C-alpha cells in the first residue's frame, strides 16, 4: 500500500509518462488496434490486458465510473476522491492508471492489495465490463457529455498531448469520430448500449453539463448514490474545491504537464468554435436516429446544448 500521496501520484504520473513514451513517433494509423471489433490505443491498452481483464475481482463497495473518453471522468475521479477523503478520512490509492482496461495484465493482481473503497474508472461499453462488477453488485456511475463538445475535446486532446499523434485538421478528426474510428469506438454506439441500462439497479447516470450547471446538487446526488453521508457544509466545500478551474489548477501542480492535457477548458458550447453547418447537420441527424426519444437522449438536453 502506498503510504503517502506523493508516492501515490508518482506511480500514476509514471504510468502516464510510459504511455506518452510509447506514442513517440507513432502515426495515426499505428495508434489504434482492434479488439472484438472496437478500436483502442496501443499506448495504454493491449490484447493481453483485455484477456486478463476478467481476472479483475470487483468488490461490492467498488465505485465504478463509466464514461466515453473526454466526457469529464478525470474531473469526476477528483470529486469522488475528495468525497471519500472527506467522509471516511481515507485517501483513495491511485498507484495504477485509474482505467481498468489500461496498463499491464498483472495490474489485476496488484489491485487486490488496494484497500476499499476503490475507484474503478473505465471507458468500456457495457458488454465489455468484467462480469464480477455485476455479480458482486458494485455501484456504477455513468457519465455522459453532449456529443459535440465531446468530439471537440477529443480532437484537442490528440493535438495537445505531447507525442500523441495529431490529426491534420478538425475535419479529418470529425469524420473519424462520426465513423467510430477513434479510441474506444463510437460515441453513439456507447450511448445506445448504455441507454438500455439506464434503469438497471445499482446504476446512476449523470450528465457533465449538469455538473457544470449545479455542482453542489450533483455532489450531493453522487454522495447519496454511493452511500456516503456528508454534511451540507462538507458537500459545499467539496463542490468549492471541485470547480473545474480549481481542479485544473491543482492537476497542474500534481501532474505537471499532463495536468493541462487532462483538464483543458471544461466549458460547455466549445463546439461552436469548430463545427461547420454541414457537420452540425450530420451530428444532429445521427443524434436523432440513435438517441431521440430515449431516456439518455432526454437527459442530454440536446436542444439546449447542441443547437446553435
Active centre residues (catalytic): 123
- Comparing C-alpha atoms, which of 77, 38, 70 is closest to residue 144? 70
Q: What is the DSSP letter of 40?
A: E
Beta bridge partners of residue 99, listed in sequence order: 121
d(CA 143, CA 207): 6
- Label residue 112 exposed, middle or buried (CB < 10 Å: 0-12, 13-18, 19+): exposed
| Alpha helices (runs of H) in the chain, residue ranges in sequence order | 5-22, 28-31, 47-52, 73-88, 107-111, 131-135, 147-160, 170-178, 187-195, 208-213, 215-225, 232-241, 244-255, 257-262, 277-291, 295-299, 302-305
Q: What are phi and psi of 144, to 5 degrees?
A: -125, 155
C-beta separation of 248 from 92 below 8 A: no
* Signed CA dihedral, 177, 179, 182, 186: sign only: positive
Task: For 95-148, list the strands marked E by DSSP.
Answer: 119-122, 139-144
d(CA 1, CA 159): 36
Amino acid at each position: 500500500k502506498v503510504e503517502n500521496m506523493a508516492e501515490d501520484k508518482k506511480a500514476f504520473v509514471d504510468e502516464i509518462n510510459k504511455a506518452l513514451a510509447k506514442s513517440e513517433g507513432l502515426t495515426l494509423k499505428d495508434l489504434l488496434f482492434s479488439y472484438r471489433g472496437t478500436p483502442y490505443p496501443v499506448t495504454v491498452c493491449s490484447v493481453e490486458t483485455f484477456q486478463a481483464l476478467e481476472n479483475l475481482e470487483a468488490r461490492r463497495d467498488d465505485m465504478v465510473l463509466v464514461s466515453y473518453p473526454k466526457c469529464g471522468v478525470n474531473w469526476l475521479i477528483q470529486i469522488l476522491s475528495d468525497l471519500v477523503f472527506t467522509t471516511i478520512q481515507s485517501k483513495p490509492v491511485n498507484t495504477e492508471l485509474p482505467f481498468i482496461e489500461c496498463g499491464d495484465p498483472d495490474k489485476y493482481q496488484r489491485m487486490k492489495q488496494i484497500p476499499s473503497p476503490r475507484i474503478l474508472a473505465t471507458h468500456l461499453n457495457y458488454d465489455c465490463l468484467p462480469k464480477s462488477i455485476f455479480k458482486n453488485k458494485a455501484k456504477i456511475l455513468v457519465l455522459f457529455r453532449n456529443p459535440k463538445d465531446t468530439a471537440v475535446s477529443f480532437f484537442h486532446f490528440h493535438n495537445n498531448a505531447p507525442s500523441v499523434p495529431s490529426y491534420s485538421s478538425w475535419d479529418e478528426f470529425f469524420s473519424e469520430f462520426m465513423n467510430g474510428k477513434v479510441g474506444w469506438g463510437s460515441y453513439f454506439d456507447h450511448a445506445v448500449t448504455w441507454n438500455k441500462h439506464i434503469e438497471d439497479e445499482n446504476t446512476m447516470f449523470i450528465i457533465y453539463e449538469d455538473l457544470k450547471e449545479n455542482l453542489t446538487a450533483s455532489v450531493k446526488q453522487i454522495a447519496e448514490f454511493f452511500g456516503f453521508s456528508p454534511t451540507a457544509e462538507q458537500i459545499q466545500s467539496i463542490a468549492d474545491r471541485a470547480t473545474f478551474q480549481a481542479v485544473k489548477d491543482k492537476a497542474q501542480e500534481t501532474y505537471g504537464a499532463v495536468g493541462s492535457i487532462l483538464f483543458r477548458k471544461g466549458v460547455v458550447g466549445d463546439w461552436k468554435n469548430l463545427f461547420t453547418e454541414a457537420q452540425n447537420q450530420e451530428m444532429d441527424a445521427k443524434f436523432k436516429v440513435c438517441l431521440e426519444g430515449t431516456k439518455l437522449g432526454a437527459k442530454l438536453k440536446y436542444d439546449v446544448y447542441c443547437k446553435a
